[in-house]
Amino acid sequence: MCHNLLRSFKDYEDNLRRVRQQLDGARLINIISQGRGTICVLQNNARAGLVSANTLTADLASVLAAVKHAMSNRVKLLTTHYVEIRQAAHKEAQEEAQAAFNSNKAVSEKQRNGFVGYAELCEVRDVLPANHPLRLWLALSTMIPCARGGDYGNCKIFHKEPTPEELEEHAENYVVLTRNSQYVHLRVFKTAKCYPDGIKLGLPLRLCVEIVDSLAHNNRDYMFVSKSGKPYATAKAFTNFLQRGLKNVLRNADATPQLVRRAYVTQKHARLKPRLNSSDPATAALAREQMALLARCCGHAVTTARKYAFELDDE
C-alpha cells in the first residue's frame, strides 16, 4: 500500500521522503492516518528553524495530496477537517515568520547559516578571477544598491545612449557605458509598478573597471550570458545559476542571492542606525533621507528596507 501511494505521487516523492525523515522513517500509511500528529511534528520542526515556512507548506500539501488519493481509493483514514487544519498550520507558520522578519531576525536556521557578511562578500569578490561571472555579479551587488537575484539575467550593454527604438526593442534592464555616462537602468523587477520610470543607478569608477575587465575576457552584448552565449531566458533561470554559483564560491550550502542582497542592506543600515537615533534633529533628518534613498534604490518601501537588515545574534 505504501509503495503504491509513493509510486502514484511521483511529483510529491521528494517532499514525502522529507516528511518521513522528520517522522523517524514512519510508514506513509501511518503518516496519513495520524494527520493531526503529523502536522504537530512538522510545525514544531518549522518553529525550531529546521525547515522554512515554505518547506512546511510544501510538506503539508504533499501529505494532503496523499490523503486525497487514499480517500479516492476508499482507504478509511482519520482525515476530519484536514484541509482546515493544514490552512491553519500554514497561517500560523507564516505569522511566526513575519514576526521574526519584523524583529530583524533570520527567520530560519537555514537563513542564519546562509547569511554572509558584507566584508566577507567583498573579500570573495576580489579573489575571484576577472572572467568569473560571480565576480561581476558580486561587484554589482556590493558596489551599488543590490538588485534582486534575477534582475541582471537579460541586461543589455549599450556603448552609446540607446535610442527610443532600441529601448522599445529591448524592453528589459540595461547598462550604459560611454565616455560621459555610466549607469544601470532597472525597468523590469519585482516592484517595478511602483516605479514608473524604473530605477537608474550611477556606476562608480571601480565598478566600471570590473565590467570592462569582464568584457575584455568575454566580449558580449549582455552583462551575463549562459553557456550558449545568449542572455538568460528568464529571471528564474539566472537566479538558479547564481544560487548554484554562490554555494560554490562562498563555500556555504545555504547561501542565496537574497541573502547577499540582505547583507548589502544590513551594512548600510548599520552605518545609518547611529545617526537615525541621533539627538541632533538635523543629523537624524539627513539619515532618514539617506535611508529613504537606499530603500528606493533597492525597490523597497522604507519600512521594508529597515526590516531587511539582519541583526543576527552572536551565538
Residues 254 and 281 in one domain: yes
Looking at the fold, whether 95 and 139 belong to one and the same domain comes out as: no
Contact indicator for 299, 195 with CB cutoff of 8 Å: yes
Task: With respect to residue 311, please indicate whether it lies within any of the assigned structural domains.
Answer: no
Q: What is the pLDDT of residues 97-131, one digit of tens each?
A: 455 444 455 556 666 777 788 889 999 999 999 89
Return the SS3 of 227: coil
Let me know if 227 is exposed, middle or buried by CB neighbors in 10 A (0-12, 13-18, 19+).
exposed
User: In one letter, which amino acid is 47?
Assistant: R
Tell me: do 179 and 46 sit in the same domain. no
- Of 20-34, 81-95, 107-121, 202-216, the range with the lowest mean pLDDT is 81-95
Structural domain span for residue 80: 2-102
What is the domain count for the chain? Answer: 2
Q: What would the grid cell of residue 168 be?
A: 522599445
Q: Does residue 280 sit within a domain? A: yes
The answer for residues whose C-beta is within 8 angstroms of residue 269's C-beta and 6 or more apart is 291, 294, 305, 306, 308, 309
Handedness of CA 248, 116, 152, 202 (dihedral sign): negative
Query: What confidence tier does 231 reach under pLDDT thresholds 50, 70, 90?
Result: very high
Q: Are residues 79 and 132 in the same domain?
A: no
Strand pairing category for 174-177 and 156-158: parallel
- Is pTM, for the whole model, over 0.85? no
- pLDDT tens string 71-91: 555 444 444 445 555 566 556
Cell of 103: 524583529
* H/E stretch holding 107: none
Dist CA 177 CA 175 (whole Å)? 7
Residues 55 and 132 in one domain: no
| CA gap 112, 88 in Å, rounded | 26
**171 and 267 share one domain:** yes
Domain at 149, CATH number: 1.10.443
Judge if 187 and 291 occupy the same domain: yes
Question: Domain for residue 310, yes or no?
Answer: no
